[in-house]
Every structure is written in C-alpha cells, then in structure tokens.
Structure 1
Amino acid sequence: MRLSHANAQRLSYLTTHLTDNPNFWHSDPDRHLRAEIFPALTTATGLSEARLRELMLPQFVGTLFDRLHPQAATRWALPYAKRLYAGQRGGAVYCPRCLEEKSGPFLRLSWRLSFATVCPEHQLVLRESCPHCGAFFAPHLNDLGKGKDWSLEKRLPFGWCPQCECDLRGTGEPAGPEELAFQQRLTEALSTGRMAWDHLDHVPALEGFDVMHQVLSLLFLAGPWKAVQDVTGLPVPASPPARPNRTFEDFTFEDRRLLLAGLRFLVSDWPARFVAVCTTARLTRKPLVVNMPVIPAWYDEVADRFSRANGRRPYKRIPLAEHLDLDGIAARRAQATKPRERRRWEVLWHYHQQPEALPVARRLGMSWDFVARTVNRYNLYGPDWMNDANRARSFGRRRLLDEAQELELQTYIAASPGKPSNAELQDWCEARIGHRPDSSTLWMYRRGVAHTRLGRRARPSASEATDLFSPRDREDEET
C-alpha cells in the first residue's frame, strides 16, 4: 500500500505487476502467499522472506490455532473486508491514535485477531468501522480512482474511510483495566507458548485458546448467558449473527467485547465460577466438549462432572495390576515392533498415570471398550501377553462328530419311526461324545448339512481357548 501511494499507482495494478496475479486481493494475503510471490515482494520492499513471514498470521500456528486454512473460517482470525462483503461482515479493527502517529501509521497484525479489543499502547478501545458512515475498516479498498488523487494530497490511505473519505484518526474510548489485563494475558501466551490459568500450572497456549473458544461458544446459549448476566449485569449482545452455526468471529465488535467480558468472568477462579454457571444453566457434558477434536485432560476432568452418560450406569474403574512400573511400560512401548503392540502399550502408559478408561480413550481416539479390554487382559495374563494377540490359536477346526459318527446319526434319524426330538438327539450325542449340542447344530444334522466340509465344529473347551483377543477385537484394531 505504501509503494502504490508513493508511486501514484492503483494498488491492484501494483500487486498484479509484482505477483502476476490479477486476483491477488480475492484471497487473504495475511493468511497465505504462494512461494513464488516472496522473491517479488523481497525485491520490491527490501524485506527478507523471513521478515515477510513474521508479518503473517501463520506464525501463530501451534499457539493460537492448530492449522490456518488459506480461505476457510479459522477461530481467533478475523476475515478482511472484501468488496463483495462490504456491509455484510466486519474485518480487521484499528486504533484511531495509532493511525495518526507522526512517524507514519502502520497496520498491526494483532488487529486481525478476534480477541483484540483494546490498544495496549494507547489504552483505547479499538474500532471496526467508520464512526461517520459505519463502513468497515478496509484500507486496501481505499484506492486511487473515483476522483481520488493521493499523490497530490500527500496522505496515506490508512487513516481514511474508503466509503465517505472521513478521517478515522483521533481520540477514542478509554479501555478498562480488566479488559487490558485480560488481553495482555492472551498476548503473552502467543509469545511464550504458555498461558496463565487460575489454580493451574501454566497450560500450553494452544490448549488454553482451545478451551477459551469453547467456553465462548457456551455463551451463545440462553441459559449460560442468563446465569452470567444475573451476576455481572452484562447486557445481551445487540446483533447476534443469524447463522445457526455461528462462531465468535461472526459477532460484531461490540458484541465480541461483551462475550469476552463473560469469558473473563467464567475463567476467573477456575473452575468454581465455571462449574457454578454450568450447574445453574443445567448444562450437560455435550455442549462443553462438542466439536473439540482434542480435549485437554484438565478441562475434560471438569466437563466430566456434568456427564450423564445418556442414562447409562457410570463406567466402572479398573485398577491396574502392578506388573510393571511406568518406566517399564515405556520401555516395552519403545521395544514394540508392530503398531498394534505399540498401541496397547500406549494405552497402558496413559492408564498408569490416569487409571480411568474414558479419559484415556478420548485422549488416544479409541473406544472405551478397547481400553478396558486391554487393561483387563494385562491384569489377567501379565505383560508378555501384550506382545502378540494372535498367537496360540490351537483349537483350529475340530469336528463335533467324526465321519463314522455322522453316518451313524443319519442312520438313527432315518430309522426312527417318528422324528426324534432335540432331547433324544442330545442324549444320543452325549452318550457318544459327552457333549450335548445346541438346537442349531441339531437342525443342521437333521437336514444332512454341515457348517463346513469337515463337519460342524465344536465349541473350544476352556483349556483350548488360549486366544486373548476375539475376532471382533481384531476387527476393532484393524479399524
């Protein structure tokens, strides 16, 4: 923008010349730039590629969000106002004092973050639109043309409204100390990778932002907001988005300030206030964790207080046998040669630290039943049985009746004056093999058919059933 102003060129012409892309502004350049664009920008601006990447949103991947899509909506990242969306949705915010700096105004990357509501330097509340006409802040739309000639007026386009050309610079509303302190807490988490949290050790920044965004989604519901409003006196958001799947970034700037005030209340004195509000609003576990791909253990422990298990009985806790200590389990996990073996030892390693099947299953993305079966078999058979679940399948395809006995049975059935009952056939089989077949087996023998070409198979005895994992278990593991 500075180059186009200094050379009295339209911004779209300059970006087309530098990037060979006439649709450069159709996407968000703060989110994504093609690799071949960086050399052209380096030549034009004198900034290195590393420095250019420091001025883009992907630097927050791993701390603010787990990934940043070039175009799709991303939590905590505001869109920038496009021409087609003018008047429909806001974008970046700005500080009126920052735009009148004598050394020359510049745009802050933090103005693209949805939790940014105050300017820490001037301690003023930010704005998202022109105070005169209400047009959203979009300096890239404040271009030459339409009777404008900035080369003569000697002014940068940052501090002027693209709609009514009014001056956006000046004074603003002072920010409160709580709002400043809360934003400072979030900003420090971006730089340090750790977030301060009441009554907890410093949690990873990505986990903290995950939980905060989830708590904000609870405030979209009438029950939790009413419970917060009764204590804090906050007004109801004036212009909630009409979309049913709305996110925090869809709200207007003033409504985001209200929601962040509610968030400050909920995460203070953690988890006492949060639990009290959820209890008053009669929330269950589902809205607390819905759409969270990864649930931090410390938040999952709080959410489990509201679990009703869909009317089921609570899951039974299984104590872990002391076959190996934590270091021994970790050593076995490192020595595992097959993915399935490593997964079982991974289950035991997590279960040793937190002996509850449900949190371990959620953390590893497995079913509760698989975790419980793995622990039960480890307790019963010891560590050596965790290496290979498919060994020692010795019972094979043993026949219930041999060929001579099957022929004798068919002769007996044919010679009987009437159809023999199941009880009579069971007595006949028990006298010869010591086993009373079930009705399905007898049905097959009456009709002269067999389960396989080798005949109907017998059930394995307790001494023969040496396989630890049933076919169903192996299917679960393959899945």
Structure 2
Amino acid sequence: MSSWLVRIAHANGEKVQSFCHHEFGQKHQIWNRDIDRLAPDWLLTKLCEKTATPIERVRQTTLKRYEGILFDHTALSGVEKWITPLRIYHRTRKSHGLQFCPECLKEGNEPYFRTQWRIAFHTFCPKHNVMMHDRCPCCGEPVVFQRIELGKGNEETACDKPLSTCFNCGFDLADSKPEKAIFWNNDTSARWGQLLSGIQENKLTRYQSEQLAVLHQFVKLLCSKVVSEKLFDFMESKFRMVLERPNFGLRHFEANDIIRRFGIIQCAWWLLSEWPNNLKGAWLDGAVRYNHLLKDFDGMPDWYLREVGNMNINYKRREMLKTLLMNTNTSEKK
C-alpha cells in the first residue's frame, strides 16, 4: 500500500505529505506507522472511494493479505510472524525491513515495491535467482521512498524521480549489483521457491503450510541464545564450514538482516530435509532437546509431533541409540 500511495501522490504532481493532507485531512497521521501492516480502516475506505478500487483489492495491497497464511491474526504491536519489522520512530526507520530485488525494479515503465518483499522468508528473488537487498549499497540507509522529497523546496520534488531512489544519497536502487543466490543444494532451492510461489498465489498445500510452521519453529530455535550455539556447532562440524550466526541483540528472527536470515533459513531447511533423519541426528548429538522442539509451538503437524515424541527418552537410552546409529553407519561404509 505504501508504494501505491506514494505513486498516486506523484501521479497527481504533489509531494506525499501535501497530497495526504489534501485528501485525508491534517488530523490524520499516516506515515508515523507501518501502513502496509497496520493500515487503519478509514484509510482503506478513503482509498477505495478516491480510486474507485474495490475494498478487497485495496486490502490486498497490505500485509493483511497474508493473514491465515503466514500468521493467524494481525498483531497490533511487536513483531509479526514471518514479517520484517520497520521499527518506525517519528517517521524514520530504525531497521532495514523493506527488501527489494534490483532486477525486478528494472522491469516495467515504473519501479514499485511489492507487498511480498516484506516477508522475512523472501530473502532471494525466485524469478531472477538473485539475493534480495535491504539497504542502499552506497550509504547503507534503509528504503524509505516516501522521504525522497523531504528537505527539498517546491521547485524540486520527487515526482520526476523513480521510487527506487535512495532518500538519503539519491542512488537508484535498481542499479544495485545483483548477487546470485547460492543454495546448499538444488532441493532446497526448489522447495523454497515453491513455498514462495504458493504464499504469493495463496495456493499452499496443507503439507506446505505445515512445512512453513515447522520452519518457523526451527528458525526460532536457531535464533535462541539458549539453543542455537549447540545447533550451529553441530552443523558446522557436519558441513565443515563456518555459518553466519544470528544477531543475538535482536529478539526475533524477522529482525535479522537478509544475509543472516538467508543462512538461518538454509539451516532450518536442512533440519527439515530427509525427514526425520537430520533432526534426529542433531538430537542424538545433544544439539537440540525434546522440550525445545515443542516449546511455544501451537498447532504443530501430526507428523512432526509423532517424530519429536519419539525423542522423549532419557539420556542413557539416547546414548544407546546414538551408538547404534554410529555402528550402523560404520557397517554401511564397509
């Protein structure tokens, strides 16, 4: 919605703030909130009336379109499940929550920002197979396209500038260098892309919805100070590579930058792959505990609960299973 609203203002030859004051009245504050996530009903209604667009179509321009797909109910405060936070403070943004694909911005006559680019799971563009960006490559500032015109007189507005212009330094974000997305394996790439397509088209199968729920449980564990260190150590020893750790100064997976989220999700995909062998291996090694796998996980799938339920055994029996598995693997190698 935010991208659409700015383009409407510029199409009418007005600055965003002036346009909003004229059309919605000065008593209404719009840009002091995340309108893509928390658009008030009066704004939806006004846009419906002013643009002759059906109300459901207007609502589809907001993140509410993902209610029941990525999250159950819109949270009025805090971080929404699978949605990147903007951390708006006095109309400025304290986090890099709006992502973009430079190749997508080049397409069409006018660049615009897609609603799906706020999905924390959307760390690469499945269309161009390149990494998403979450900041200006020149100055490092977040994307705040409604501020392109601020500080400029009437003789210089942002109406003639593309929405892809960095508000801070003026760099065209569409010219950001594309970087190929590198996956651990082709299976991860394919399944990840299929999930993104299913989310966008609202055509997720039941199993894909359950996969998404389990993946979120895993990324929460991977971002937990209590659990993650052993999990990352286990995977690093298995893959013989150094993995990007989450920023533990942030409470939520969704608040991490793109590079960290991309790596964390790949780890989560690995735990879900070859089900349940990879997760079982991490559990047998002591990298994750039974109670952590169930903690705060509402509505977990039956197939997940069934396998994790088998892990509810004492330490001695777990060590016996670990030894048995090691002996089996040794015999197979011979």
Q: Same fold per TM (> 0.5)?
A: yes
Name the SS of the counterpart of 2:174 in structure 1.
Answer: coil
Higher relative contact order (CA 8 A, sep 6+): 2
Residue 213 of structure 1 is matched in structure 2 by: 216
Matches of 1:83 and 1:260, distance apart in 2:
29
Matches of 1:161 and 1:169, distance apart in 2:
10
Matches of 1:36 and 1:87, distance apart in 2:
24
Structure 2 CA distance for partners of 1:51 and 1:194, relative to 1, 3 Å? closer
Structure 2 CA distance for partners of 1:75 and 1:33, relative to 1, 3 Å? same
Structure 2 CA distance for partners of 1:303 and 1:25, relative to 1, 3 Å? same
- 2:74 touches 2:80 (CA, 8 Å); kept in 1? yes
Matches of 2:149 and 2:164, distance apart in 1:
12
Deviations 1:21-68 (A, max 9, x none): 532122221123333323321233342212111222122222211112
- 1:9 touches 1:144 (CA, 8 Å); kept in 2? no
Residue 181 of structure 1 is matched in structure 2 by: 190
1:168-317 correspondence runs (5 A): 168-170=173-175, 171-176=177-182, 178=186, 180-190=189-199, 191=201, 193-195=203-205, 203=207, 205=209, 207-220=210-223, 221-237=228-244, 240-243=247-250, 246-308=251-313
- 1:27 touches 1:70 (CA, 8 Å); kept in 2? no
| Number of positions where the alignment pairs a residue of Structure 1 with one of Structure 2 | 301
Matches of 1:153 and 1:145, distance apart in 2:
14
State the TM-score, normalized to the length of structure 1: 0.57
Stretches of structure 1 lacking an aligned partner (at least 5 in a row): 196-201, 312-479
Name the SS of the counterpart of 1:184 in structure 2.
Answer: helix
Q: Aligned match of 1:18 in 20, 23, 40?
A: 23
- 2:136 touches 2:142 (CA, 8 Å); kept in 1? yes
Residue 101 of structure 2 is matched in structure 1 by: 95
Matches of 1:94 and 1:149, distance apart in 2:
29
Matches of 1:22 and 1:236, distance apart in 2:
46
State the TM-score, normalized to the length of structure 2: 0.80
Structure 2 CA distance for partners of 1:225 and 1:42, relative to 1, 3 Å? same
Q: CA RMSD in A?
A: 2.7
Is the counterpart of residue 45 in structure 1 residue 51 in structure 2?
A: yes
Matches of 1:286 and 1:34, distance apart in 2:
40
Structure 2 CA distance for partners of 1:281 and 1:87, relative to 1, 3 Å? farther
Structure 2 CA distance for partners of 1:122 and 1:309, relative to 1, 3 Å? same
Matches of 1:80 and 1:114, distance apart in 2:
12
Matches of 1:270 and 1:83, distance apart in 2:
43
- 2:100 touches 2:117 (CA, 8 Å); kept in 1? yes
Partner amino acid, structure 2, of 1:32: L
Matches of 2:196 and 2:298, distance apart in 1:
24
Structure 1 moving runs of 4+ over 6 Å: none
Larger CA Rg, structure 1 vs 2: 1
- 1:241 touches 1:251 (CA, 8 Å); kept in 2? no
- 2:198 touches 2:204 (CA, 8 Å); kept in 1? yes
Matches of 1:216 and 1:135, distance apart in 2:
26
Partner amino acid, structure 2, of 1:6: A
- 2:37 touches 2:63 (CA, 8 Å); kept in 1? yes
Stretches of structure 2 lacking an aligned partner (at least 5 in a row): 1-5, 317-334
Structure 2 CA distance for partners of 1:12 and 1:131, relative to 1, 3 Å? same
Name the SS of the counterpart of 2:41 in structure 1.
Answer: coil
Shift of 1:232: 2.9
Residue 331 of structure 2 is matched in structure 1 by: none
Matches of 2:180 and 2:156, distance apart in 1:
32
Matches of 1:278 and 1:148, distance apart in 2:
63
Matches of 1:149 and 1:169, distance apart in 2:
25
Structure 2 CA distance for partners of 1:88 and 1:229, relative to 1, 3 Å? farther
Shift of 1:115: 0.6
Matches of 2:238 and 2:69, distance apart in 1:
32
Structure 2 CA distance for partners of 1:103 and 1:73, relative to 1, 3 Å? same
Structure 2 CA distance for partners of 1:160 and 1:122, relative to 1, 3 Å? same
User: How many percent of aligned residue pairs carry the same amino acid?
Assistant: 23
Name the SS of the counterpart of 2:211 in structure 1.
Answer: helix
Shift of 1:227: 1.2
Name the SS of the counterpart of 1:135 in structure 2.
Answer: coil
Shift of 1:166: 1.6
Name the SS of the counterpart of 1:97 in structure 2.
Answer: helix
